[in-house]
Structure 1
Amino acid sequence: MSNPIGPDSNESGGEFCPHEIKRPVMRQRWVDATFAHWPVEPDLVRAVLPAGLEPDLFDGHAWVSLVGFDMDGLRVTGLPPIPTTSHFPEFNVRTYVTGPSGPGVWFCSLDVPNWLPVLVARLGFALPYDRGSVDVQRTSTTIGWSVSRTWPDKSDGALSVRLTDERVDFSQDPLAVFLTSRWRLYATTVGGVLLTAPLIHEPWPLTKAELIDVRTGLADSAGLPVTGEPIVHHASRVSVLVGMPRLVAKPKNARSPIVVHFDDDCGVCSASVRFLRRFTDGTVTYEPNRYLDDPVLERLAEEALIVTGDGGPWFAVAAVSKALGRTGPLGRVVGGLIALPVVRSLAGIVYRLVARNRQRISARLGLVAACRLPDSE
């Protein structure tokens, strides 16, 4: 499929696609795409983005969307669809950004019920796919999505709408163009390097819809709480091509700083931080949790270690992986390994066992006296 956007695209499907994909790596269809969009303050979105991306604004606002659809006909170009994984429901939280390759989409989370798409998307496209149940309820006039995430953390959300026949006139609705004419995705690798991939799709058969119910727990979990009545849309089906992902090179020494927050009443935590300090570079600072004033970071009491900055926060094993990524080659390899889905699950079990018993372990190892680091360090 060449560029599918024709001369009448402003009426039927949004803006012109700015590129063609001559050698797509993946083909898919999005069926019953259901959108709910909220305006938010730009700083809220900016706080969750990595270095190199900025919120894309419409009328001074950033935007956050919940999007549910059925993935259909998913396959790698040149290969037949893989049984049991070519069709499944997906529900994602996304926001809109500008980056080195132009405007695009930043996915905060993408929930699907199958493990294989999670592994392929995380390893091949560095996209934050999560596993959970995604239930879809349809009638002739309504559609509803319900999500219960089980990995890598627990969260839930829902969106149900009443369908209408009122088509969106893109020539009269620039906000609809802004929200749906997106031809690029961005993600970051484990090492924090920005990645991008182009995509194209047919003109959206977009119609207006009416909200019945929404639960925004998935947006809350992504650090993007939304309030108020959303704008809702529905589209019956579009065919999509995805191009080869590529790295967006960072200039040398352009890594954003990060802060490692740790439980300084824990001997194991303090000893671990002393060890990390010997190897991490100048972009890393360490801060005992007694200095925290951000309510979002209250999870530290349970997690023991949190990393903020450069698109964070990261918790638990993800925080360890992020910190190790700022060390030498061996540390970066270890950090990358524990970020892989299967390894991360096993490491998460060990981490939580240690975190929940860290005071007892500290006492057994005789590390109680080392609980507080000198403020001068």
Structure 2
Amino acid sequence: MIFLKAKWQNIIMVNYEVPVEFLSAYVPQGVELDLYNGKAYISLVGFLFKNTKLFNIPIPGLGTFEEINLRFYVVKKNNGENLRGVVFINETVPYKSVAWMANKLYKEHYSTFKTKSSLVNFPFEQHIRYEWLLNNQWQHISVAASSIHNNMLPDSLEEFIYDHYAGYTKVNSTYTLEYRIKHPSWKVYPVKAFDIKCDFDAMYGKAFEFMNHLQPKSVYLAEGSAVSIDWKRNRIA
């Protein structure tokens, strides 16, 4: 059964290299860190939810909204098969009802802030910006990118960041839930410039204060697509 259907559009990924030992404390039971060339990454993400449906029913007034999240990458190894997935430190949306449902039903880590976004198209370039209001100050992720998309290169960092098709929720130290995310591989737009304003300390806690002093290793923009998320959650630990 499909729980959620939506279109995820204009997905910005701001990617930071962080120490493996830092992320290890956040890894759910039953999975392990997924590394790219031996390095661990965490991503600040902004995108637009559109045409949102729950159990195939449109949600009046809640169909289109921004999401900001912080996520990292894990892999579940089982009998020689590797299932690559993501773990969310936090997901931010503008609607309390959406956050309540995710937290109550699925033990997720949602919070609610006022958000806004903008998209400006030029002949060969697009400017995309996501903002959220934190402690009466607007934070933002913005990019200027080509309007011509490309396929992701096989085995590239870009493909590593975007192509994960499972989510893992750390309910507690011994309880992990797994769910599946379905979407095609996305087209990407070359990013020409970016600007980030995020108070990681205030947003995600004191442990993340060091990220205020990091420069992103990469910033990507994907076109996005229709997505679906299964209702079923599997307990793997």
1:124 shift after superposition: 1.9
1:193 shift after superposition: 1.3
1:155 shift after superposition: 9.0
| 1:346 aligned partner | none
1:188 shift after superposition: 2.7
Work out the CA distance in 1 between the residues paired with 2:198 and 2:24: 19
Q: Normalized per residue, which structure has more strand?
A: 2
Query: Are 2:38 and 1:60 aligned?
Result: yes
> Do the aligned partners of residues 191 and 51 (structure 1) sit closer, same or farther apart at CA in structure 2, a change above 3 Å counting?
closer
One-letter code aligned to 2:5: R
What is the RMSD computed on CA atoms of the aligned residues?
2.5
> Which digits, 9 at most, give the CA deviation of each residue in 1:69-104, with x for residues without a partner?
1111111224x2111122111111111112367220
One-letter code aligned to 1:238: S
Matches within 5 A, 1:46-85: 46-78=24-56, 80-85=57-62
One-letter code aligned to 2:131: S
SS for the counterpart of 2:29 is coil
Match of 1:41 among 1, 7, 19: 19
One-letter code aligned to 1:221: Y
Say if 1:109 and 1:130, in contact at 8 Å, map to a contact too: yes
**Farther off after superposition, 212-221 or 65-74:** 212-221
> Do the aligned partners of residues 229 and 189 (structure 1) sit closer, same or farther apart at CA in structure 2, a change above 3 Å counting?
closer
Between the aligned residues of both structures, percent identity stands at: 21
Work out the CA distance in 2 between the residues paired with 1:44 and 1:155: 28
| 1:116 aligned partner | 97
**Which 4+ runs in 1 deviate beyond 6 A?**
none
SS for the counterpart of 1:122 is helix
**TM-score under structure 2 normalisation?**
0.84
> Do the aligned partners of residues 45 and 157 (structure 1) sit closer, same or farther apart at CA in structure 2, a change above 3 Å counting?
farther
SS for the counterpart of 1:170 is coil
**TM-score under structure 1 normalisation?**
0.54
- Identify the structure with bigger relative contact order (alpha carbons < 8 Å, sequence gap 6+): 2
1:245 shift after superposition: 3.4
Structure 2 residue runs of 5 or longer lacking an equivalent are: none
> Do the aligned partners of residues 113 and 31 (structure 1) sit closer, same or farther apart at CA in structure 2, a change above 3 Å counting?
same
Match of 1:202 among 165, 173, 184: 184
Work out the CA distance in 2 between the residues paired with 1:50 and 1:157: 29
Say if 1:193 and 1:247, in contact at 8 Å, map to a contact too: no
Matches within 5 A, 1:303-314: none
Structure 1 residue runs of 5 or longer lacking an equivalent are: 1-22, 251-377
Say if 2:34 and 2:84, in contact at 8 Å, map to a contact too: yes
One-letter code aligned to 1:207: Y
Matches within 5 A, 1:29-178: 29-78=7-56, 80-99=57-76, 102-140=83-121, 141-149=126-134, 157-165=139-147, 167-172=149-154, 174-178=156-160
Say if 1:157 and 1:218, in contact at 8 Å, map to a contact too: no
Work out the CA distance in 1 between the residues paired with 2:32 and 2:144: 33
> Do the aligned partners of residues 168 and 175 (structure 1) sit closer, same or farther apart at CA in structure 2, a change above 3 Å counting?
farther
One-letter code aligned to 1:31: Q
1:249 shift after superposition: 4.2
SS for the counterpart of 1:50 is coil
One-letter code aligned to 1:33: I
